[in-house]
């Protein structure tokens, strides 16, 4: 009779129903698959409109970095030290000038930063980056 009792306990362990656990797992998987993409766009942000004012040409100077890595200022190729010297002379004449840096998209980030550092070394603190507007899809 003792054997009979032991067998009934083991038979209960053998008969665990896995169907509810599998159903719960699939339900959670489906919930996470649906909500994960929504989390990326969960923050409501309204980007500003592209209504830029026209810039005063006298106070702005453009420094370009072309796709060969040349630094151009007033259509003249300069080294970073020559650029710093030229901008220092212009800065002495007009303190509130703005320098806009325009670089080719294929140039490494460190080269763009080197141009910005040369501008900063001339004493000019108002530096802007020129970018191309994204096309609307």
Task: Look at 7 and 127; give whichever has higher pLDDT.
Answer: 127
What is the distance, to the nearest Å, from the Cα of residue 130 to the centroid of all Cα atoms in its chain? 16
**Residue 14 banded pLDDT, cuts 50, 70, 90:** low
Same domain flag for 123 and 64: yes
CA distances from 74 to 10, 55, 77, 113 (A): 90, 17, 8, 20
Specify the pLDDT at position 45. 46
- Is the pLDDT assigned to residue 22 strictly greater than 90? yes
Domain holding 21, by residue range, is: 2-40
**Residue 98 banded pLDDT, cuts 50, 70, 90:** confident
Report the CATH number at residue 88. 3.30.420.270
Same domain flag for 34 and 71: no
Task: Look at 53 and 106; give whichever has higher pLDDT.
Answer: 106
Same domain flag for 24 and 64: no
pTM given for the model: 0.55
**Residue 43 banded pLDDT, cuts 50, 70, 90:** very low
């Amino acid at each position: 009779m003792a054997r009979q009792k032991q067998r009934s306990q083991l038979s209960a362990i053998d008969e665990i129903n896995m169907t509810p656990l599998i159903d719960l797992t699939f339900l959670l998987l489906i919930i996470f698959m649906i909500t994960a993409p929504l989390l990326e766009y969960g923050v409501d942000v309204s980007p500003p409109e592209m209504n830029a004012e026209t810039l005063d040409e006298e106070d702005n100077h453009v420094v370009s970095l072309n796709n060969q890595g040349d630094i151009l200022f007033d259509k003249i190729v300069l080294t970073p030290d020559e650029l710093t010297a030229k901008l220092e002379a212009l800065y002495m004449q007009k303190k509130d000038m703005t320098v806009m840096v325009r670089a080719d998209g294929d140039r490494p980030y460190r080269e763009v930063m080197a141009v910005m550092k040369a501008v900063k070394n001339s004493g000019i603190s108002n530096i802007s980056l020129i970018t191309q507007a994204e096309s609307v899809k």
